[in-house]
Structure 1
Amino acid sequence: MSSVAVIGARTAVQGYGLVGALVRVAEDPEAVRRAWATLPADVGVVVLTAAAKAALRGQTGADDGRLIAVMT
Structure 2
Amino acid sequence: MTEMGTVVAIGEWARVQGWGLVGVEIRGGEDAAAVQLSWDSLGDDVSVVILTPAAAEALDHRLDGSALPLVAVMPP
Coarse TM-score class (shorter-chain normalised): over 0.9
Consecutive aligned runs of 4 or more in structure 1 exceeding 2 Å deviation = none
Q: CA shift at 1:62, angstroms?
A: 3.1
- Greater Rg by CA: 2
Structure (1 or 2) with the greater strand fraction: 1
RMSD of aligned residue pairs (Cα, Å): 1.1
Percent identity between matched residues is 44
Aligned length: 72
Q: Deviations over 1:28-56 (max 9, x none)?
A: 00000000000121110000000000000
TM-score by length of 2: 0.88
Q: What's the counterpart of residue 64 of structure 2?
A: 61
TM-score by length of 1: 0.92
Q: CA shift at 1:66, angstroms?
A: 1.1
Q: Which runs of 5+ in 1 are unaligned?
A: none
- Alignment partner of 1:47 out of 43, 46, 50: 50
Q: Which amino acid aligns with 1:28?
A: D
- C-alpha separation between the residues in 1 aligned to 2:63 and 2:74? 16
- C-alpha separation between the residues in 1 aligned to 2:31 and 2:70? 22
